[in-house]
Structure 1
Amino acid sequence: MAESKNNVVTHGLSGKVGDLLVFSQRNGKTVVSKAPKERTGELSDKQKAHKLKFQKAVLYAKAALADPIKSQMYETQSDSSKGITTYNVAVADLLNAPDIEKIDLSGYSGNPGELIKITAIDDFQVIAVTVKIENADGTLVEQGNAVDNGAEWIYTATASNADLAGDKITVQATDNPDNMTELTQNL
């Protein structure tokens, strides 16, 4: 990749030149690229959904930057030396829902006080994890919030559950923009 230093002609240049070139500024450097071609044809349903999601992310990021608390929260993850702005962090947070990597049921046999451990991660922050335990017939045994211990989320059972056969445990993880991921595991 060629690099031009101290070029007085292109320094600070921004915009489109005819239908050939586009000049833009990134991290204090002038970037020259080929002008994009205009899209032809109808967008597919997946493309429309992605476009809508990205528009939602842009609106969320603008609102987050207008909120001093959220703006400061996202500022902690920005890195201007790498071109990662507070705005970029907020957009990415909405675009990426949390992942539930593991539900550890080894400490749960249906007794109150037993623990269910959940590993949930997000590109920015998981703010809540809820657990719901249902019997095989769909009746609710219990539900509640897990507690973050720094490495994983811990749910402490509160109800007695004598028959675990066919029971299912549903875990939901939520992040700041209210993206929610759900994972169900059968016993």
Structure 2
Amino acid sequence: MAESKNNIITHGLSGKVGDLIVFSQRDGKTYVSKAPKPKTVEDSPKQKEHKLKFQKATLYAKSVINNPELKQMYAAKADTSKGMSTYNVAVADFFNAPEIQSIDLADYKGKKGDIIRILAIDDFAVKTVMVKIESENGNLIEEGAATDSGYEWLYTVTITNTNLTGCKITVTASDYPANLAETTKIL
């Protein structure tokens, strides 16, 4: 690859020259590349969907940059030595929903004060974990937020449930961009 140093003609130049070449600036260097060809086919529905999702991700990242509290949280995860900015971390987080790895019902016997343990993870952070307990016929018994213990999320049961057979326990985890993950267990 040819390299030109201290070239007063191209130094700092950026933009398109005709339909032939494009000058761009990155890391204090001037790059020259072939001009892109105009698109001749319409995007497929999947491409349109992906573009829309990416637009939403960039809007989310911009909102993070404008929110001092969120900006500080995301900046703490940005590895600038690898070119990862706060903005990049926010965009990546938008694309990744949390994952509920396990729901531990060993301590749930249907009594008030029993604990349901949930292991939920995310590439950035899990913001909330909600638990809903329904009877076999779908009637809501209780629902509420689990608390973060630092390692796992803990939900303390608030209502005694004498008939556990067929009960459905649904756990929903959400992250800062409001991505959701949901898992259900039936007793």
Shared topology, TM-score over 0.5? yes
| SS of aligned partner of 1:48 | helix
Task: Note closer, same or farther for the CA distance 1:163–1:70 as it changes in structure 2 (3 Å cut).
Answer: same
Q: How many residue pairs end up in the alignment?
A: 185
Q: Which moved more, 1:13-22 or 1:50-59?
A: 13-22
Q: CA deviation at 1:79?
A: 2.1
Task: Note closer, same or farther for the CA distance 1:83–1:26 as it changes in structure 2 (3 Å cut).
Answer: farther
| SS of aligned partner of 1:76 | helix
Q: What one-letter code is carried by the residue in structure 2 that aligns with 1:93?
A: D
Q: CA deviation at 1:36?
A: 4.0
Where does structure 1 lack aligned partners over 5 or more consecutive residues? none
Q: What one-letter code is carried by the residue in structure 2 that aligns with 1:141?
A: I
Task: Note closer, same or farther for the CA distance 1:166–1:58 as it changes in structure 2 (3 Å cut).
Answer: same
Q: CA deviation at 1:20?
A: 5.6
1:51 aligns with 2:48: no
Q: Which moved more, 1:144-153 or 1:62-71?
A: 62-71
Hey, what does 2:136 align to over in structure 1? 136
Q: What one-letter code is carried by the residue in structure 2 that aligns with 1:152?
A: E
Alignment of 1:31-42 (within 5 A): 35-42=35-42
Q: Distance in 2 between matches of 1:104 and 1:3?
A: 61
| SS of aligned partner of 1:163 | coil
User: After superposition, what is the alpha-carbon deviation per residue over 1:123-155, rounded to whole angstroms, capped at 9, x for unaligned?
Assistant: 111111010010110001111110101111011
Q: Which moved more, 1:41-50 or 1:116-125?
A: 41-50
Where does structure 2 lack aligned partners over 5 or more consecutive residues? none
Task: Note closer, same or farther for the CA distance 1:23–1:165 as it changes in structure 2 (3 Å cut).
Answer: farther
**Structure 1 segments (4+ residues) deviating >6 Å:** none
Q: Tell me which structure has the larger Cα radius of gyration.
A: 2
Q: Distance in 2 between matches of 1:59 and 1:156?
A: 36
Q: RMSD of aligned C-alpha atoms?
A: 2.4
| SS of aligned partner of 1:117 | strand
Q: Which moved more, 1:130-139 or 1:40-49?
A: 40-49
